[in-house]
Structure 1
């Protein structure tokens, strides 16, 4: 489970429900000097993703301290964790980030900003909360077959896109995080088949890193997807995409699925002004230039007034 990084243990007092995403059942500890936000290298590319990481031993000891133990740790024992993302290519790679409780942390940046929507996908999730993720931006550049299955894709207007994230040093996202059981990973990987799975290090809103990684569904490439996930099989690709007339997944000239975009905007708004403004200003169309705020005020005006189909009102209700 994700724990804030600190150096000296202090008791954890109750926090009001609306701010429960700051609360962890584990003991928080504080660090001086404060850690800076993690930034990816200016020429960051996926091949540079690290395949291994390590944390200072003091971090694991801190998580085992009792709430009443305020014995200080020397500053020399503490160093910032490695915050660069690395890729989880196989199911076994998820064992690198599983907690001692058998839990895996998941990042939500689109529909999973909604706890109701998250629980419809992960009924047994725990510890749903908000966090910050630096070095990424949201982009509507991903053709989603689920929208065709549910009848809400509009191929005639190219309004067929779902969300993924891409590395971008200057960007920062408000996300949600929650935990699922390690046993749920195979179904998670199957459901998010076309994504690149990255292990990332989120932050709290006061600039502290978490000591555990979380899984982020990031942009893949058509070539890698076909070779790695479809195993080079045209039949597998056809069953997942080709039967909908889709020949490329990642495109820069498609638009958000209207029902899905409305759902994501409402979900962000329900989290508060900070999450809402962040979504509008740090989420882009496939052109990587137009923000969702700009889109909704021009071409996409009217989307927020449209109701989802009756059978999808609960799932896509924000």
Structure 2
């Protein structure tokens, strides 16, 4: 899933750990803005066991789009020592510094990190250093030759998990996710998809091996 920027002013891009560290709070914590599986506190804690202050926030100027191929299938604080592992885990994304708001429109004091859509060309040139071997390690071995595509559908288990996670955050978050998250065509909302070609997804149980994590 990607997060596309709108026509608003482009947020600052974060290219290395120094850029991330510039966003640290006085307590040495980094705010992460999650919009997919990280809408689930359970899922977020499986990634960042020591995260604190998991909370709902609003981020203007972006939209969620399911256009991300992967080899496997909110807003909270993490510690400085977790920055490198976070960057490695989300290697195929563009890291942006954004300013989320509370639900009543007040900007948070510290900027947060958002994982937005990268490009295949930049990923190969920058993150893989132009090396086909490095690309193969990350994606090629899984038969993926293009990461960002517009003609794929969401992983059914993952989509169900995201919808349940949004539901757990209340009606406002649930309706926002259903009505402002799109398929790769950037026209079909998730609500429309679940009512048509994606019907039945919410009734499907995830495999036992991931059930504890992918239940919203």
Report the TM range for the smaller structure's normalisation.
over 0.9
Q: Which has the higher contact order (CA 8 A, sep 6+)?
A: 2
How much does 1:146 deviate? 1.9
SS at match of 2:191: helix
- Equivalence for 2:68: 142
Whole-angstrom CA distance in 1 between matches of 2:158 and 2:88: 20
1:226-267 per-position Cα deviation (integer Å, ceiling 9, x unaligned): 111111110010111111111100000000000000000000
Q: In the alignment, does 2:172 pair up with 1:274?
A: yes
SS at match of 2:115: strand
Whole-angstrom CA distance in 1 between matches of 2:157 and 2:90: 19
8 Å contact kept, 2:6–2:62 = no
Residue pairs, 1:39-118, within 5 angstroms: 42=7, 49=10, 85-118=11-44
Q: In the alignment, does 2:51 pair up with 1:125?
A: yes
Change in 2 beyond 3 A, CA 1:195/1:126: same
Whole-angstrom CA distance in 2 between matches of 1:278 and 1:144: 24
User: Which consecutive unaligned segments of at least 5 residues does structure 2 have?
Assistant: none
- Equivalence for 2:117: 219
SS at match of 1:120: helix
Instruction: Report the TM-score when normalising by structure 1.
Output: 0.65
- Equivalence for 1:231: 129
How much does 1:92 deviate? 1.3
1:150-187 per-position Cα deviation (integer Å, ceiling 9, x unaligned): xxxxxxxxxxxxxxxxxxxxxxxxxx111000110000
1:195-229 per-position Cα deviation (integer Å, ceiling 9, x unaligned): 00000000111111112100000000000011111
SS at match of 2:42: helix
Q: Which structure is higher in strand share?
A: 1
8 Å contact kept, 2:6–2:61 = no
Instruction: Report the TM-score when normalising by structure 2.
Output: 0.95
Runs of 4+ in 1 over 4 A off after TM superposition: none
SS at match of 1:310: coil
How much does 1:41 deviate? 7.4
Whole-angstrom CA distance in 1 between matches of 2:91 and 2:148: 14
SS at match of 1:126: coil
Residue pairs, 1:114-263, within 5 angstroms: 114-147=40-73, 176-263=74-161
Q: CA RMSD in A?
A: 1.2
Match of 1:290 among 185, 188, 191: 188
1:67-124 per-position Cα deviation (integer Å, ceiling 9, x unaligned): xxxxxxxxxxxxxxxxxx2100111111210111110000111101010111111000
Change in 2 beyond 3 A, CA 1:191/1:129: same
SS at match of 1:208: coil
